[in-house]
Amino acid sequence: MYADLFTTSPLAAPARCSSLVAHEILGLFLPHRRLAQESAPCSPGGCANCLAPHLRRVIDSVERGAPVVFILPAFPGKSPNPAKVLSPRADMAERQSLAFLDGLCRRVASVYAPGARIVLCSDGRVFSDVVGIDECDITTYQRDLSSLIDELGTKSLSTFNLDDVFADCTFDGMRTRLMENHGEPLESLKARVREGGEPQRMYCGITRFLLEDASRPDMTTSKTSLQKDCRRRAYEVVRRSKAWDSLLTECFPDAVRLSIHPQVCGSRKLGIHLMETTDGWLTPWHGVAVDVGGAFVLRKRQDVERAGATLVFSNGRPSHYVLERTAS
């Protein structure tokens, strides 16, 4: 599957310089890392420990003269909480994020002619029923992503989702097949979360997101019940995330793994910011794009509206905000 992404080119680099090229390629990604707060300190451009899990894959691609393939599980669908996002549709936040990723691939091509490819492994179908996003909204969002990629005119970005793997199934059937083939028992996951580290960090982060998404004006559930429900659903989100990760490893065994979650130094995943934000966990599908004087930043909708930002429409749909800088 997707084997053509790894096609060898006659521009293969000599072995003696492939390591230098690989270091330069990864060096373009490292300044945009999402580092976990508990990560050991390292240099802004990364350290040997940061590079170690990814370097061999990049070197292998360079030695073959093939594009370096990255996979990014991301872009599931917009948060169902209107205090965080504008609508269920992809908007300027996604457009800016895709343009950023395309720009990264262009910079790779400037130092390594075969360039890079980033496969956006849109995982909304994996989680829709446990995070409260309508299946129709997932379908529309996936189409929006493909349309934005077409508008960018890039060959470096592509999408991959559960529909590509289990096309003959219902949506519930897709998720059932995924978990039957790649799922981890719930008790095993709970034990790993109790041990701390990355599983606990991910569980806590997902619980926080679910609680924010569910804290809407139309909710009548008590806060205590809501927290209990979000903790329960967070375990299922993490289980499915791990199953999706396992499937992606099977489908893209030679790809470098990116992540939108903060990662510790030396993780097998390279955490990456898609837009400027002060929140290490905020994503384009949990926030809105704000033009702050020619540059876009990512914020939650309710925060920028409180700051008096102006909403901008594009093609009849809400797109982003403009926030005028106040004179100091």
| DSSP secondary structure string for all residues of 208-270 | HHHHHHH--TT--S-HHHHHHHHHHHHHHHHHHHHHHHHHHHHH-TTSEEEESS-B-TT-SSE
- Asked whether the beta carbons of 69 and 255 are under 8 A apart, the reply is yes
Q: How does pLDDT run along the chain (328 residues), one tens digit per residue?
A: 455 565 555 455 555 489 999 999 999 998 898 887 765 566 656 678 888 999 999 999 999 999 999 999 999 999 999 999 999 999 999 999 999 999 999 999 999 999 999 999 999 999 999 998 999 999 999 999 999 999 999 999 999 999 999 989 999 999 999 999 999 999 999 999 999 888 898 899 889 888 888 877 666 778 888 889 999 999 999 999 999 999 999 999 999 999 998 888 888 999 999 999 878 788 999 999 999 988 999 999 999 999 999 999 999 999 999 998 654 3
* Structure confidence by residue, pLDDT tens digits, 18-29: 999 999 999 999
- Asked whether the beta carbons of 36 and 205 are under 8 A apart, the reply is no
The structure's pTM equals 0.88
